[in-house]
Amino acid sequence: MNYPDYIPAVETRDDIGPEQVAAAIAGRTTPLLMKGALDSWPVVQAAQAGGLAEYLAPFDQGRSLVVFRAGAETRGRIFYNEAMDGFNFARSTGRLLPTLKEIESGEGGDDICYVGSTPVDHHLPGLRAENDLDLDGAEPLVSLWFGNRTRIAAHFDLPENLAGVVAGRRRFTLFPPEQVGNLYPGPLDFNPAGQAISLVDFYAPDFERFPRYREALNAATVAEMSPGDLLFVPSMWWHQVEGLDDLNVLVNYWWRSTPGWTGLPHDAMLHALLSIGGLPEAQRRAWGHLFDHFVVNREAAAAPIPPERRGVLSALDRGMAARLKQLLIEKLQRMP
């Protein structure tokens, strides 16, 4: 069998509407596909009727956005060039409705056109008044993604993610966070869109170069999505995203489970690479055990210590965050 026929389907429900989404995903740590959850959205209905651009026109502010363009030889894969010193696409500036109409008309032929992570409230203010989800107090970033037959390599995101298909068909291939080593991520600081991506071509995997990818496949699930479908992707889950039709439009919601004043975990990883990455392997592994104890299992680490003596292991609030930041600033300033 060919990819993705041998990958099992993600858990799926067909009894969830927009009002039930927040309850359906509360506390979940695994993906969930909600078939038809957004069928009632006017934008989905307009797309189904062939009038998507006309529906969006009154909301569009004509603001510029970034467009990724690539040749047909890429087969839609947004990726590095062969030398990995650049990428196989070019960035240009466009506007939302003209770019959408260009894709709808097919005037670009087999060339690739892709627009990602476009803030809805900035480009289409008012759209959410008619097409939205209530996430029980969360304040999400809502973004629009559209293009033709594109393939975004597997990557992870820090925020929780709800991805809803407005037009076309999408395929998400999902892997739990512990599969990171089996997906062979590329550079942390040089990648197409800000996140490390898997170097494996899922349609032509090189098992000699990436042998552990077979193990990742054993943990994979796939979500085949149609207009109106909604997928919950938990924080840190790896996912490859494919547009399967000549026009694909998706709206997604990102929100964090912690306040902004806690900082970004990615920054902590970069600091760890600076301070721990150069140590001998045995010492790196020893620090890995300390991270597991004091960070991953911080509640258990704090439990035997009297509450008034827990120091930086105390409950993380604004005051403790300020104290930790000050400690870091002082220590960083002492570095040669």
Instruction: Give percent helix, percent strand, percent coil of the chain, each to the nearest 5.
Output: 35, 25, 40
Same domain, 147 and 294: no
Same domain, 171 and 316: no
Domain for residue 214, yes or no? yes
Same domain, 224 and 109: yes
How far apart (Å, rounded) are the C-alpha atoms in residues 19 and 215?
38
Q: Does the bond joining 185 to the residue before it have cis omega, within 30 degrees of 0?
A: no
Which residue ranges of the chain lie beneath pLDDT 50?
Answer: none
Whole-model pTM above 0.85?
Answer: yes
Using the 3D structure, point to which of 222, 238, 255 is the last residue of a domain. Answer: 255
The number of distinct structural domains making up the chain is 2
Same domain, 148 and 18: yes
Same domain, 235 and 273: no
Percentage of the chain exceeding pLDDT 90: 91
Q: What is the C-alpha R_g of the chain?
A: 22
Same domain, 78 and 190: yes
Same domain, 232 and 264: no
CATH code where residue 25 lies: 2.60.120.650
Tally the C-alpha atoms within 13 A of residue 73's C-alpha that lie toward its C-beta.
Answer: 4
Domain for residue 3, yes or no? no
Same domain, 275 and 216: no
- Please check whether residue 254 is in contact with residue 141, taking contact to mean a CB–CB distance below 8 angstroms: yes
Using the 3D structure, point to which of 255, 284, 300 is the last residue of a domain. Answer: 255
pLDDT in tens, 127-160: 999 999 999 989 999 999 999 999 999 999 999 9
Range of the domain at 196: 12-255
Same domain, 268 and 178: no
pLDDT in tens, 51-107: 999 999 999 999 999 999 999 999 999 999 999 999 999 999 999 999 999 999 998
How far apart (Å, rounded) are the C-alpha atoms in residues 75 and 111?
9
Same domain, 175 and 294: no
How far apart (Å, rounded) are the C-alpha atoms in residues 244 and 81?
23
Domain for residue 247, yes or no? yes
How far apart (Å, rounded) are the C-alpha atoms in residues 258 and 260?
7
Same domain, 96 and 32: yes
Look at residues 280, 324, 271, 275 and name the one whose alpha carbon lies nearest to residue 298.
324
For residue 108, the model assigns a pLDDT of: 82
Backbone angles phi, psi at 232, to 5 degrees: -95, 120
Residues 6+ apart with CB under 8 A from 225: 33, 163, 165, 169, 170, 171, 172, 231
Same domain, 269 and 136: no
Using the 3D structure, point to which of 200, 226, 255 is the last residue of a domain. Answer: 255
